[in-house]
Amino acid sequence: MDLEKYKTINSATREESENFDKIRCNNVYRPIFHVTPPHGLLNDPNGFCYFNNEYHLFYQWYPFGTIHGMKHWMHLTSSDLYSWQEHGSKITPIEQYESHGAYSGAAFIEDNSAYLFYTGNVKHGNERDANQCLATLHKDNRVEKSSHNPIISSFPKGYTGHVRDPKIVKKGDLYYMLLGAQREKDLKGSIIIYSSNNLIDWSLKGELSIDIDADFNEAFMFECPDLLEVDGKDVLIFSPQGISPKQEKFHNRYNVVYCIGKIDWASLTFTVTHWDELDRGFDFYAPQTMANSPIEPTLIAWAGTDNNLPSEQYGWVNCLTAPRKLSIQDNKLHQTLVPMNEHNAKPSLASSELASGEVIRLESLSFSLDIDYAQTSNLSIIISDDFDHEFIFTVDNKNNKLVMDRTHYNHNSKEYEFGSIRSCILTKKSSALTLSCDQSIIELFSDQGRNVFTSLFFPSNGNQYLKITFDEISEIKATLQYINKI
């Protein structure tokens, strides 16, 4: 065990603190309207909620380097979901029940009180324990760990130490806790459920049966379960690890799926009417929806990867996606960007100015591009530094396919371990795209969020260009807006 990486921010030396300040001031590759760590590594979003008239967000954070070390919960607040104020680590793993990290979890809001549930990670050599823990978020932004911790000690019989990521929902007079888990008998992934009548004392109810289990029998772990209601339907989201690619789906190291249907708490079954991969891009994992949302159901996720990334040389790595509104149309989950304040957007390109193949020199790599076009059209969007290194998006309506291609935009002169092309089959002809770009992250939404692709990318420091090509007989409307610093 590498003991050096299991230290907390409380033990930072003066020299380390001075280096943190230098990293914070370096903006190379750093997005302006996406959450990034001030220094070190960011991964899963945690505790996402609306409380005390503002948005709260935490994320998994290792302060000392760009590796997965001792996880803290960094705390942020916002009034608009784009401009975030940091409050530092609010769950720092200093207790025995979390001796090797405060792992992921979620918020639960009730009676004007905010509760944070998380997993305390404890390692014993090559073995691990998983303790479920509780903390209270106060109105002055203090976070107080419960004196009852751990509220669930260790892991239940029949499962390994890989039990984590609590999500709390309430039905009637009972609270339910969903946890990602791994069975002991076959080392396969599952979701287990506990119940409580007071948020402190929990008893195991059993394992959730999902009637698409056969599609995920090879998964060795289910992480980050989430359950919410969208447009009157239950939506279950989880992150299965270890599934093989299936046609256009599941080409990343780890993937995320959603299921639309109905949960039966008595029988612990989830009847699925539709399921799909949540995001088809290269860098999307561990999404979390907002508790107590005052707007539409809203999601945010980790945009990251285990590959070596260029930002590591500047002392930080990974970011979160932009916040996304969720809706259901034609029994399919749609994701669209939460609108940004108008004063942050600077209009640049009107549709009348656009010709197929025209090259536009970009003023900034923080922009939004909206395109409407005929359903019979084929369309390509190219972002490039010198047109030898190109990031390409293609709508092929004739073959009903949407493609993201970064083959010629290799960020580290090394082959991508999990390929360089992602695609999806269009169940409907595409007629609209929104491309959101922010320095080193791209999010593509087709047809009001029916299909979504998220990817990190790391352009050179030189000029950047945009080119849109389309069928000459087609008419398109395009609007390019630059995003000012939030």
Interatomic CA distance for residues 131 and 129, integer angstroms: 7
- Which CA distances in Å does 244 have to 184, 423, 482? 21, 16, 39
Beta bridge partners of 209: 269
Nearest to 170 by CA among 229, 248, 257, 87: 229
Q: Which residues contact 332 (CB under 8 A, 6 or more apart)?
A: 260, 274, 276, 427, 450
Task: Walk across the sheet containing 465-470 and list its strands.
Answer: 359-361, 465-470, 378-384, 390-396, 401-408, 421-425
330 is catalytic: no
What are the DSSP calls for 382-400, one per residue?
EEESSSSSEEEEEEETTTT
Instruction: Provide φ and ψ at 5, rounded to 5°.
Output: -85, -5
Q: DSSP secondary-structure letter at 152? A: B
Interatomic CA distance for residues 402 and 388, integer angstroms: 22
Interatomic CA distance for residues 117 and 392, integer angstroms: 41
Catalytic residue among 44, 129, 234, 447: 44
Nearest to 117 by CA among 99, 135, 140, 102: 135
What are the DSSP calls for 242-271, one per residue?
SPPPBTTB--SSB--EEEEEEEETTTTEEE
Handedness of CA 30, 34, 38, 39 (dihedral sign): negative
Residue with tokens 């029994």: 331
CA distance between the termini of the chain: 41
Amino acid occupying residue 321: T
Q: 383 near 443, Cβ under 8 Å? A: no
- Which CA distances in Å does 325 have to 365, 437, 476? 23, 18, 26
Helices (H) and strands (E) in the chain, counts: 1, 35
Burial (CB count within 10 angstroms: exposed 0-12, middle 13-18, buried 19+), residue 134: buried
Catalytic residue set: 44
